Amino acid sequence: MESNSQKLGTEPIIPLLIRLSIPSIIAMAIQALYNVVDSIYVGRISTDALSALSLAFPIQIILIGIGVGTGVGASSLISRRLGENNKHAAVNAAEHSIMLSVFYGIIVAIFGFLFSNQILQLFTGEANLIRLGSEYIKIILIGSTAMFFPMISNNILRGEGNTFTPMIAMLIGSILNIILDPFLIYGLWIFPEMGVAGAATATVTARLISGSFLVYILLFSKKNELQISLKDFSFDFQIIRDIYVVGFPAMVMQFLASFMLGGMNKILAGFGSTAIAAAGIYFRLQSFVFMPVFGLNQGYMPIMGYNYGHNNPERMKKTFKSALLVAVTFTTTGFIIF
């Protein structure tokens, strides 16, 4: 019986691409829905509260950039090594990416604890927006390990051709987030009323639970193709370099998006908090268009990586053409709708 990774080199491309992409598309659509629902909950507090989340959004994109860049690089490296039938090197890549998530989480937590106010002051001079934004982003930054770990772990699993488990993990995180939001924001049942800080706490808590599920899958489940153990781990900078040969460009793209949004928020701040809030709502709605393409990308990458390692350029070309056709269909539909 073929393993998930071996199917990347043998299964018909279109069915394989669809099978790998659909779980990611579903999970990312739920994530996009969460972003909209989160805005609705926070918007009921005040316009300033919603504006504060919009101001904090570019900072969150930087976190996403770190997680996505590391995860994409690890996923590509893992699938390439599996294509070369070098499972030991694939495990090493997975272990390094896990430890990088912890390392980044510690650095970002310290930075967020010390400088969250100063970061918000870059975008606006309004004291209330700075206060609300700082309440939100400080919790997100301090809990950043809970953000990084699921993103990177999901990509480890995708690298071996498993997109179903990452879908479950993302669904757990997003659905829990939607459930926890009203309790922590408005102070329902036994919970204190926390406002925007409640939204951040719900996000970190949901990601922590999602991450705990992934810890079990990666480190303790015998069904996982890569048997990961961190007992004798030591950093190998060549492996880190190999991760970021692919991951760094993806990271830079996210950073550029963050700078663009930060600059736009700076301009909109001159028109008041309502303008910032409106832009934030638009970008959350817009994510419904891009999430399917991102999901398609998650299915596309392990196929390309495995067949690169397996020295099968013809299959890589067919995969590229198939993925491009589906992506153009998604984005054209989004263009017509928006």
pLDDT digit string, tens, across residues 184-200: 999 998 999 999 999 99
pLDDT number for residue 233: 84
Sorting pLDDT into bands at 50, 70 and 90, what band is 334?
A: low
Q: Phi and psi (nearest 5°) for 190?
A: -95, 0
Q: Going by C-beta distance under 8 Å and a sequence separation of 6 or more, which residues neighbour residue 335?
A: none
* Range in 75-84, 91-100, 150-159, 260-269 with the lowest mean pLDDT: 260-269
The whole-angstrom separation of Cα 164 and Cα 157 is: 9
228-249 average pLDDT score: 90
pLDDT at 221 > cutoff 90 = no
Decide if 112 contacts 137 (C-beta within 8 A): yes
Sorting pLDDT into bands at 50, 70 and 90, what band is 228?
A: confident
pLDDT number for residue 298: 79
User: What's the burial of 188, exposed, middle or buried (CB within 10 Å: 0-12/13-18/19+)?
Assistant: exposed
Say what the pTM is.
Answer: 0.88
8-27 average pLDDT score: 84
Q: Map residue 279 onto helix, strand or coil.
A: helix
Sorting pLDDT into bands at 50, 70 and 90, what band is 293?
A: confident
Would you give the DSSP letter of residue 269?
Answer: G
Give the percent of the chain with pLDDT over 70: 97
The neighbour count for residue 174, using CB atoms within 10 Å, is: 24
pLDDT at 209 > cutoff 90 = yes
pLDDT number for residue 224: 80
pLDDT number for residue 11: 84
Mean pLDDT computed over every residue of the chain: 87
pLDDT number for residue 70: 94
pLDDT number for residue 292: 74
Decide if 52 contacts 133 (C-beta within 8 A): yes
pLDDT number for residue 256: 92
